[in-house]
Chains A and B, each alone.
Chain A
Amino acid sequence: MAFNQLVQGSVTATFGEPINISTTIMETCLAQTDELAFLQNGTSMQYMEAARNLETAVNEVDGWAYPGLASTAPTGARGRLRSALEDVFQNFTLSLLAERTSSKTSEDRSLAEGNPC
């Protein structure tokens, strides 16, 4: 249910208005999957033409490795949504172990390998 609360909801588009995002899925790494990449700009089509997204423009100029604050992974760089959903749920399940052991102090740890989406 915790997973569902993050994923479910809607993105609606009405002419002349910015896209209305009523889901937190776009705040997760799933937003960078192939299928959801078209929503990354957060604007409807006429807005994309009228007001270019600065982040996108920066990436186009300097490539996604641009080291500035606006650097982001290119949209659609995280694979297919279907497998990403399965993988992030698996990561969530394993991550519950982190919470159960979080009372222990731990420093100088790096994150797990493998980034599903």
Chain B
Amino acid sequence: MGRQNTIYQFIGPSHTVQNVASAALGLGQILPIPPPAANASWVLEFWGPALHCSDVLGTKRNAIWRNIWNAFNSSNPLNGGQPTYPLLAWVPWSVVDQPSYFPDENETFDADLPFYRKDGYPILSSSTMALNTSATLFLAIMPEMLSFSLTGIQVEVDAPNATTLTFCDYKNASTVQDLNTTLSDCGPMPWQASAAFQQATLLRCDLASTSYSAAFRYVNGTQSIQISTNTTEQSPLVTPAYTVLGPEIPDDLNFNHTYSPPSIQNATAGRPKNCSTLLSDKQAHENLDKDCIFDPAVAQLLSY
């Protein structure tokens, strides 16, 4: 009797983790952590993920502005208006989404760009987690887009040759220089598409494995936590695991419990040795016959 390997797939954070995230971000503080005594202090050192954010500059910045502009320009004004985007926050497109979405002309597929087309309409990446690549989050804040939602239509209404309610032909931008082309034929006020991105912020945040040192101090139950992270050396970027291999379920149990919970294998005698590392994604598929398992509790603990 051989053993069957099991591929476990990460389908999202548990409600518990999501609740913690909502509470911590809503409050803007570390949640209360019960101390062992009203007056206590200790230091906890551990490796954990940390978010490192930086401004997006250079060609990537230009490519993202152009992509956003073209998405705005190509949205259908008859279908609920032509929205502008004062704020966009997205995760790079996942590999599984890419076959269904298409780049504009003059654009090659770059998973970092926010918009691709489906049935002709721009669709914002709805990926929630980067797969097989570093965990990255982009944020674009474009305050001028808000005022542009007002002035844009004024230009259209005042267009001297407008006979129907059509929007200005702003032209798609095939190069970043196109964003700086003055648009003088669609209204009384010359206008450049680049104006939409003045005073804009474009951030890229990556998840990095980081050495934490947290000093807990409680005085009469009042919590104080001083955190320091190791920033003296380059922290390796975290690559999320979408699937992990194991634990193996013996054939006889698998037969009776097709969807056995991971704990079922714990009761089985003769279980194979533990894997020294979690095998993820491609590794897992290439090691289906590997005679080892991981502790499901470890994977649960590492899920984030």
Contacts and interface: CB of A to CB of B under 8 A. Distances in A.
Q: Do the two chains bind?
A: yes
A36 B141 contact: yes
A38 B147 CA distance: 11
Given A10-B85, A86-B51, A2 B21 contact: yes
Contacts of B223: 109-113
Nearest to B157: A15
Interface residues of A, number: 67
> DSSP majority for the B interface?
mixed
A15 B150 contact: yes
Contacts of B275: none
A19 interface: yes
B214 interface: yes
A70 interface: no
Interface in B1-59: 10, 12-13, 16-35, 48-55
Contact of B50 (A9, A11, A89): A89
A4 B125 CA distance: 12
Contact of A5 (B13, B28, B84): B13
Interface residues of B, number: 71
B128 A4 contact: yes
A52 B200 CA distance: 26
A112 B49 contact: no
Interface stretch (B87-95, B104-112, B278-286): B87-95
B82 interface: yes
B224 interface: yes
B205 to A, nearest CB: 6
Given A44-B146, A109-B34, A78 B28 contact: yes
Interface of B: 10, 12-13, 16-35, 48-55, 80-91, 124, 128-129, 137, 139, 141, 143, 145-147, 149-150, 152-153, 201, 203, 205, 212, 214, 221-225, 227, 229, 240, 304
Interface of A: 1-17, 19-20, 23-25, 27-30, 35-36, 38-39, 44-46, 78, 81-83, 85-86, 88-99, 101-102, 104-117
